[in-house]
Amino acid sequence: MKRCPDCREWKPPEEFPRNRRMRDGRHAYCKPCHNARCRETRERLYGGSRHYHLKRRYGIGADEVEALIEAQGRVCPICGRQGPEQVDHDHVTGKVRGVLCFNCNGGLGQFRDDADALSNAVGYLVRNDDLHDLTVNRARGS
């Protein structure tokens, strides 16, 4: 059994997060107390979880993301949907390009940010749209 200094309860070692630096391999605080301490620190130092993660991942804060959204007219620059929330960045340079909607950001990710692949996809859609129009017109007898 191990005692948590925050809640002062005795708990089994499995109730404490793993920590290789500690002699017993477990953190000093139990999981609920450890999580509460982490949340409090994020709030105190970074103003919230979103801001904290944006700073760590992209080097910009929530206020800068909001400014980007405002500069884009509060719409996704690809599809025009309202309320984009996904930060888009270049995976090679790490540079933030803009803020997209969930679907457009995921679409770019699926194409691995490859402009040639996206161009090929557009060509494919246009060709098949023309074929679809041809097929529909034949079916109608036009």
70 has pLDDT over 60: yes
The secondary element (H helix, E strand) that includes residue 2 is: strand 2-3
d(CA 90, CA 6) in angstroms, rounded, equals 43
Are 4 and 27 within 8 A, CB to CB? no
Segment 43-54, tens digit of pLDDT: 998 888 899 999
DSSP 79-102: T--B---EEEE-TTT--EEEEE-H
CB 106 within 8 A of CB 87: no
Kindly report, residue by residue over 7-38, the tens digit of the pLDDT.
999 999 999 999 999 999 999 999 999 999 99
- For the chain, the farthest-separated pair of C-alpha atoms sits apart, in whole angstroms, at 82
